[in-house]
Structure 1
Amino acid sequence: MKFTMTEHGFTGHLPYGELHVSTNEEHGFRPYQLLVSSLAICSAGIIRKVLEKKRMPADDIEVEVKEIVRIDEEAGRVAKVHLHFRITGDVDESKMPHVMELTRKNCSMVRSVEESIEVVETFEVI
């Protein structure tokens, strides 16, 4: 992974393509957006895998970031993120608390920030 400075931020040169990052949304993704996206997508991917292993594959998983709490006095540090998952498919809702527990345990991004960011995860089965 390599990042080079540009006029308005930095460009990441990654195997899939370029990633433009800037403190100004007009010129790229803001760093906190990438952090929150990593939490959301890592968790959703683990939910997907766990459901497949339990023979309840999801037809669709949508993640909504319901809340982001930032602390201005601490350089805008992200203190809390609320992720809400909408899962469509033939999923036994009574098994979802265990699925969510396994997801939290196995999501490397959530585990990486567990001492510094409160990650709240809720779900609904549709």
Structure 2
Amino acid sequence: MEFKMKKDVGFYADLGFGRLDVASDEEYGFRPYQLLVASVAVCSGGVLRKILNKMRQEFSDIEIKTDVERNSEEADRVEKITVHFRITGTNLSESKLERAMELTRKNCSMVQSVIGSIEVHETFEIIPKPPVSK
């Protein structure tokens, strides 16, 4: 990736999917910590999705909610990211989901990249999918 300085604040990169604007002020682009958290969350979500498909779990949706703890005394350092998955599906096995979470953590490159410097905590909840009425 190549980033170029913007006239006002921040930097940008022209990527295959479009332009990525990054700045310390949300008015001018994504904040760097938002991209870090998004990378961890979405990488985990993508890995979880693949694993659930391989486990033949019937799910129709995965929502991801994050919470971030930062240390204002150390340059607003990201210290902990909590990633909570809301998985909607039919006949989802809690034990299989627990195993899927272990595999997700092990196989998500973004989580593996921050281990040792940022605590990543993953949780999930099952949202039963209502039966389709005929």
> TM-score of the superposition, structure 1-length normalised?
0.96
The C-alpha deviation readout for 1:63-97, integer Å capped at 9, x for no partner, is 001x2111112111100011110001122122111
Shift of 1:57: 4.2
Structure with bigger helix share is 1
> Would the aligned equivalents of 1:51 and 1:99 in 2 still touch at CA under 8 Å?
yes
1:17 maps to which residue?
18
> What value does the CA root-mean-square deviation take over the aligned residues?
0.9
% identical equivalent positions: 57
The C-alpha deviation readout for 1:42-74, integer Å capped at 9, x for no partner, is 001011000000111421000001x21111121
Report the Cα distance in structure 2 between the residues aligned to 1:75 and 1:12, rounded to whole angstroms: 25
Report the Cα distance in structure 2 between the residues aligned to 1:24 and 1:83, rounded to whole angstroms: 24
Largest Rg, 1 or 2: 2
Partner SS state of residue 111, structure 1: helix
The C-alpha deviation readout for 1:13-34, integer Å capped at 9, x for no partner, is 1111100100001110000000
What residue ranges of structure 1 are gaps of 5+ in the alignment? none
2:99 maps to which residue?
98
> TM-score of the superposition, structure 2-length normalised?
0.90
Does residue 47 of structure 1 match 2:48?
yes
1:73 maps to which residue?
73
Partner SS state of residue 83, structure 2: strand
Report the Cα distance in structure 2 between the residues aligned to 1:87 and 1:49, rounded to whole angstroms: 13
Q: 88-97 or 76-85: which moved more?
A: 88-97
Report the Cα distance in structure 2 between the residues aligned to 1:4 and 1:53, rounded to whole angstroms: 41
Report the Cα distance in structure 2 between the residues aligned to 1:30 and 1:19, rounded to whole angstroms: 11
